[in-house]
Amino acid sequence: STLPSSTLVRKPETVLKQVFGYSEFRDGQKAVIDAALNAQDTLVLLPTGGGKSVCYQIPALVLEGVTIVISPLISLMQDQVAQLQALGVKAAYVNNSLAREEQQRVYQQLHQGLIKLLYVAPEKVLQRDFLERLSHLKISLFAIDEAHCVSHWGHDFRPHYFRLNELKQRFAHVPMMALTATADKATRFDIVEQLKLQQPYIHTGSFDRPNIRYTIEEKFKPMVQLLRYLKEQKNQSGIIYCTSRKRVDDIAEKLADAGLNAAAYHAGMSNEQRQFVQTGFARDDIQIVVATVAFGMGINKPNVRFVLHYDIPKSIEAYYQETGRAGRDGLAAEAIMYFDPADIGRVRRFFEDIDDEQRRRVEEQRFNAMASFAEAQTCRRQILLNYFSEYQREQCGNCDICLNPPKSFDGTLVAQQALSCVYRAEQRFGLGYIVELLRGANTSRIRDNNHHQLSTYGIGKDRSSEFWLSILRQLIHQGLLSQDITQGASLRLTEAARAILKSEYALQLAEPRLQAKHVYQDKLA
Ligand code: ADP
Ligand code: ZN
């Protein structure tokens, strides 16, 4: 095909300035672009907001021919193309939602060499007639956006991505650039493998998101904790992640009842409903979205100020991606997870249903890492980045642990009070009931059991229920209490509890972290 004047070769720096209006490249961008210009395959690993798009958009504008961008989401495609067109770049998209005449118009321009960047859905690019069309074009580059979708190990596997290796087979001479914000190592290896990248140039940026403050708060009365937090946020945007659709609906409704501007989002809703919520959120018409993991890729909203986890996610990777939707504009943002150690057992039971044994083991290992992250008492960011092999020596100074270091205290007396309360109640009751007994609650259940007569009734009434819940959890954790799931989660003393009751040694416990946020906010001021 002949070369229209608009595709005259320009220097990458010139394009960066003239088209995108940026004065210099960010770390790594130039090297990736140079590799692509030299027809080398590339793998670009940058966190969300790291500046991946420019890495393929500039080669597309510098090289002859058309760059084919594979992108998994229609909304993402539309946004990107609209942005490029606004910059005067000849970009277009085709996917199966486009009207036939529209598609024909795009194809016409394509064959006339009038399009520099063509965004295509993966299912579309693999259609026989489309591949045939491609073989008549001069293709400068294949850019595979959200490339982790190719991997079974990734958090967002998509079958159509899996077949993208056919592109390398058919167009062996066309360089391919894979881009992802995935920090997970196994997934990264798999991307190279699956897409058949040939000795790729790999750029790995830092995955640190220093403006995000990580906090893990013990889950007591999560709805109360949630509302207390949200009431302070005024009109800021945020996302609340939960594991089940039912819980999403439930919480969204409660928030609405509390007068908050919140909407639900999950895969059980119709396409129109979901689109409505996503657009409303993008436009700041909706302040809070309560969602399952289905609310993910394609949320390009820069000013999300908080991401809350009502439940523990299934992997550190998922946690990182979900919290990463906060603060894309670089301004201070918060990631708070409400954590109940008992949730760990609940999630583990889900994995038992996975038939594929290897798959189950991988899921379990990933979740174990997440669980130990949640339970750890060291700098959150250090653990996160070390997990992604980005070794961190320094504590971050911007997580709950750094801002409000855990303190321990001699917990022998409170442990004895709690343990004897469990014992007096004949080891037949669960956490909530024991807390009520300790606090001397006046409930019909306690009266019916005649437990208001026990010597331990009300023995801990000067402490909050959160305090006692935290202590009981720690006693379980330390192996002094066991929880019998088959018996209504009743608490039982273990052999080891005897030594504590007899004061044979002193027991160190962590001071319960109650309303941690309020404590360290004062410190920062
Ligand atoms: P990603 O796709 O990695 O999430 P984007 O490509 O959307 O990130 O880039 C994030 C933001 O950074 C965008 O607003 C983009 O215009 C901006 N950006 C990218 N490269 C540069 C640069 N060299 N200088 C200044 N801003 C840049
Ligand atoms: Zn820290």
Ion ligand 2 residues within 5 Å by Cβ: 379, 381, 395-396, 399, 402
If you measure from the C-alpha of residue 378 to the centroid of ligand 2, how many angstroms do you get, rounded to a whole number? Answer: 7
Question: Ligand 1, residues 54, 89, 299, 301: which to mutate, most atoms within 8 A of Cβ?
Answer: 54
Contacts of 380 (CB under 8 A, 6+ apart): 214, 215, 216, 373, 396, 399, 400, 401
3-class DSSP assignment, residue 495: coil
Structure tokens at 453: 């007569």
- Dist CA 257 CA 267 (whole Å): 23
Q: What string of DSSP letters covers 182-250?
A: ---HHHHHHHHHHHT--S-EEEE-----TTEEEEEEE-SSHHHHHHHHHHHTTT-EEEEE-S-HHHHHH
Residue 15: left (phi > 0), alpha (psi -120 to 50), or beta? Answer: alpha
Q: How much is the pLDDT for 515?
A: 58
- Dist CA 301 CA 51 (whole Å): 15
User: Which residue reads 């760990």 in tokens?
Assistant: 344
Bridge pairing between strands 304-309 and 237-241: parallel
Is the Cβ atom of 51 under 6 angstroms away from ligand 1? yes
**Greatest extent of the chain over all pairs of C-alpha atoms, in Å:** 95
Return the number of other C-beta atoms located less than 10 Å from residue 221's C-beta.
13
**Nearest-10 Cα torsion for 105, 110, 116, 121:** 70
Is the Cβ atom of 300 under 6 angstroms away from ligand 1? no
Phi, psi torsion values for 424, nearest 5 degrees: -60, -30
Contacts of 290 (CB under 8 A, 6+ apart): 239, 240, 242, 248, 251, 252, 255, 262, 263, 264, 265
In tens digits, what is the pLDDT along the chain, a chain of 525 residues?
Answer: 444 444 446 899 999 999 999 999 998 999 999 999 999 999 999 988 789 999 999 999 999 999 999 998 888 898 899 999 999 999 999 988 889 999 999 999 999 999 999 999 999 999 999 999 999 999 999 999 999 999 877 667 788 888 899 999 999 999 999 999 887 888 889 999 999 999 999 999 999 999 999 999 999 999 999 999 999 998 899 999 999 999 999 999 999 999 999 999 999 999 999 999 999 999 999 999 999 999 987 787 999 999 999 999 999 999 999 999 999 888 999 999 999 998 998 899 888 888 888 888 888 988 999 999 998 888 999 999 988 888 888 899 999 999 999 999 999 999 999 999 999 999 999 999 999 999 999 999 999 999 999 999 999 999 999 999 999 989 988 889 998 767 778 999 999 999 999 999 999 999 987 754 444 443 433
Q: How much is the pLDDT for 299?
A: 80
Could you give the angle at which helices 380-387 and 316-323 cross, rounded to 10 degrees? 120
If you measure from the C-alpha of residue 183 to the centroid of ligand 1, how many angstroms do you get, rounded to a whole number? Answer: 18
Phi, psi torsion values for 233, nearest 5 degrees: -85, -5
If you measure from the C-alpha of residue 219 to the centroid of ligand 2, how many angstroms do you get, rounded to a whole number? Answer: 20
- Dist CA 459 CA 45 (whole Å): 56
- Of 379, 309, 368, 380, which is closest to residue 339 (Cα–Cα)? 309
Q: How much is the pLDDT for 158?
A: 83
- Of 386, 124, 347, which is closest to residue 244 (Cα–Cα)? 347
Is the Cβ atom of 46 under 6 angstroms away from ligand 1? yes
- Dist CA 167 CA 356 (whole Å): 29
99: burial class by Cβ within 10 Å (0-12, 13-18, 19+)?
Answer: exposed
Whole-angstrom Cα Rg for the chain: 27
Q: How much is the pLDDT for 154?
A: 67
Q: How much is the pLDDT for 520?
A: 44
3-class DSSP assignment, residue 21: coil
Q: How much is the pLDDT for 244?
A: 94
Is the Cβ atom of 48 under 6 angstroms away from ligand 1? yes
Q: What is the pTM of this model?
A: 0.83
Return the number of other C-beta atoms located less than 10 Å from residue 265's C-beta.
25
Is the Cβ atom of 54 under 6 angstroms away from ligand 1? yes
